[in-house]
Amino acid sequence: MLKKWMKIGLVTVITSLSIGAGLAEAAGVLTIGRREDSTTFDPIKTAQNIDFWVFSNVYDVLVRVDKSASKLEPGLAESWTVSEDGLTYTLKLREAKFSDGSPLTAGDAAFSLLRIRDDEGSLWSDSYKVIDTAVASDDRTLVIKLKTPSAPFLSTLAMPGASIISQKGMETLGPDTYAESPVASGAFTVKEWRRGDRVILEKNPNFWEADRVKLDGVEWISVPDDNTRMLNVQAGQLDAAIFVPFSRVAELKKDSNLVVHMDPSTREDHLLINHEKGALAKKEVRQALDMAIDKQAIVDTVTFGLGEVANSFIPKGALYHYAENLQRPFDPEKAKQMLADAGASDLALNYVVRAGDEIVEQTAVLLQQQLAKAGITVNIQKVDPSQEWDMLVAGDYDVGVNYWTNDILDPDQKTTFVVGHDTNMNYMTRYKNDKVKDLVTAARIEMDPAKREAMYIDIQKMAKDDVHWIDLYYSPYINVSRSNIENFDQNPLGRFFLEDTVKN
């Protein structure tokens, strides 16, 4: 048996060595280590950051989000106009080419938008159902007609899923081939994809902003073990690594060869509550839960003080975040009293935990102890990630920790998913409040920014009062790079600006 353990050790060592040996030393090729490999390059068939973050540099979008995620800026569309009634968008496209040299036309743009709306495999069709027609009136002009006015519409054009793909390429290659070796409209093309190992990108000379791109290529290499990935950067085998564990930040900061980046993100970690489970249906019980949780302790212990206590589901730094939103004080005694008043003093909760996720597991251990002080028994149930998802969807849980990062600038997307009574049962919480639901719908079509903001503030207040879930903390994206790498930036929506990155 000892032998078996030695074998495991050996395998680990050998794998880490081979990763080191296999790294390309070519100047101008940036190697980035991350946890998992991509799953697809078909923009409409994924909702995962691991895919979005890579193909954001392979495809361009009509409208882009800037580096600080505070405003929209021109992408493939150099300008646009909106009709008085807010129903017709006319976008003027710039001269651009695909990586195969063919011209990128308004026809390709229309094709891409209708594909994300209509394709059976599209995960995003609901968000684009508002499009009535999308027509190329000429090669440079795209006219989009909406069914109803939609305030977040331009933001949704900037979502990576709405990337512009080549109609000709898709029709000749077919979706399966395209998903592996796409015709690119962005800064890089996919040179090779070794599944489960790495994605090798190469500069796209036909990109309309090719002058801006300094790197010859980028390699996204999957190194699942956090310790190994950090060691690889420390040893110079990788130029950069993402997903730096909170526990490693202090140590990495001391290394003068490295730069630790803490870029503001839209990540919010929260405790999901199943509103259909017994006493959890009572608002007072959920409020008591909120008061029994010491969020600052989570920030200190789990994020090593790098996070920040959250007070709203719309994250700090995102559009319409309400900074004055209620923050219930940590008060286990009061929580106990409230539970007793609500007739739930012997509350026992099933807490579903994703096995293998360090952050989630640590949070669970901490919450278990905190809630015990308010007399709440927590049974931790560790399950594998896919099973966890199934349990959440089936409602087979009481509480569980999850997180969300925004995909678009506008708060509409997350608000709809989380409190707008979408098809996902308000993100599996089964929360129901028709007043909130109606307000979400109204805010979507309200075109006056000031009025819209007021509506979102109301939504945040009401959601907080109802405790639709419990906001825990906001945390930054933490990446590390060697000191010879410049401009390795990630915006709050997660997009890396590799077109500006320099390797000296």
Partner 1 sequence: MAVLGLFLVLAVFAPFIAPYDPIFQDAAARLHAPSPAHPLGTDNFGRDILSRVIWGARIDLQIAVIGVVFPFIIGTTLGTIAGFFGGIVDVIFMRVVDVVLAFPFLVLMLSIIAILGPGLGSFYIAMALVGWVSYARLVRAQILVLKNSDYAVAAISLGFSRSRVMFRHLLPNAAAGSLVFVMSDAVLVLLNGAAISYLGLGVQPPLAEWGVMVADGQSFISTAWWITLFPGLSIVLLAFGFSLLGDALADLMGVHE
Q: Which residues bind partner 1 (CB under 8 A)?
A: 1, 5, 226-227, 230-231, 245, 247-248, 251, 297, 300-301, 355-356, 358, 361-362, 364-366, 368-369, 379-384
Q: Which is nearer to partner 1, 291 or 298 (CB)?
A: 298
Q: Which is nearer to partner 1, 150 or 228 (CB)?
A: 228
Cα–Cα distance, 374 to 340 (Å, whole number): 10
Helix/strand/coil for 381 = strand
Q: Which is nearer to partner 1, 362 or 405 (CB)?
A: 362
Q: Do residues 454 and 425 make contact, with C-beta atoms less than 8 angstroms apart?
A: no
Q: How far is the CB of 497 from partner 1 (least distance, A)?
A: 29
Q: Do residues 204 and 73 make contact, with C-beta atoms less than 8 angstroms apart?
A: no
Q: How far is the CB of 20 from partner 1 (least distance, A)?
A: 17
Q: How far is the CB of 295 from partner 1 (least distance, A)?
A: 13
Nearby residues of 339 by Cβ (< 8 Å), 6 or more positions away? 285, 288, 345, 347, 374, 375, 376
Q: Which is nearer to partner 1, 262 or 383 (CB)?
A: 383
Secondary structure element (H or E) that encloses residue 21, with its range? helix 2-21
Q: How far is the CB of 356 from partner 1 (least distance, A)?
A: 6
Q: Which is nearer to partner 1, 361 or 486 (CB)?
A: 361
Phi and psi (nearest 5°) for 342? -85, 5
Q: How far is the CB of 393 from partner 1 (least distance, A)?
A: 18
User: Could you count the other beta carbons within 10 Å of the beta carbon of residue 319?
Assistant: 22
Q: How far is the CB of 208 from partner 1 (least distance, A)?
A: 43
Q: Do residues 62 and 163 make contact, with C-beta atoms less than 8 angstroms apart?
A: no
Cα–Cα distance, 239 to 482 (Å, whole number): 5
Q: Which is nearer to partner 1, 108 or 294 (CB)?
A: 294
Q: How far is the CB of 294 from partner 1 (least distance, A)?
A: 9
Q: Which is nearer to partner 1, 300 or 489 (CB)?
A: 300
For residues 19-45, one letter each, b for 16 or more C-beta atoms within 10 angstroms of the residue's C-beta and e for the rest, the string is beeebeeeeebbbbbbeebbebbbbbb
Give the residue from 423, 420, 421 showing the smallest Cα distance to 410. 420
Q: Which is nearer to partner 1, 9 or 174 (CB)?
A: 9
Nearby residues of 494 by Cβ (< 8 Å), 6 or more positions away? 49, 52, 53, 56, 265, 266, 405, 477
Q: Which is nearer to partner 1, 136 or 383 (CB)?
A: 383
Q: Which is nearer to partner 1, 249 or 419 (CB)?
A: 249
User: The tokens 């050998």 sit on which residue?
Assistant: 14
Q: Do residues 437 and 458 make contact, with C-beta atoms less than 8 angstroms apart?
A: no
Q: How far is the CB of 270 from partner 1 (least distance, A)?
A: 20
Q: How far is the CB of 248 from partner 1 (least distance, A)?
A: 7
Q: How far is the CB of 246 from partner 1 (least distance, A)?
A: 9
User: Could you count the other beta carbons within 10 Å of the beta carbon of residue 52?
Assistant: 21
Alpha-carbon dihedral 490, 401, 395, 290, rounded to 10 degrees: -120
Cα–Cα distance, 8 to 488 (Å, whole number): 35
Q: How far is the CB of 362 from partner 1 (least distance, A)?
A: 7
Cα–Cα distance, 262 to 254 (Å, whole number): 15
Q: Which residues pair with 414 in a beta bridge?
A: none
Cα–chain-centroid distance for residue 434?
27
CA–CA–CA angle 177, 180, 184 (5° rounding): 95
Q: Which is nearer to partner 1, 116 or 480 (CB)?
A: 480
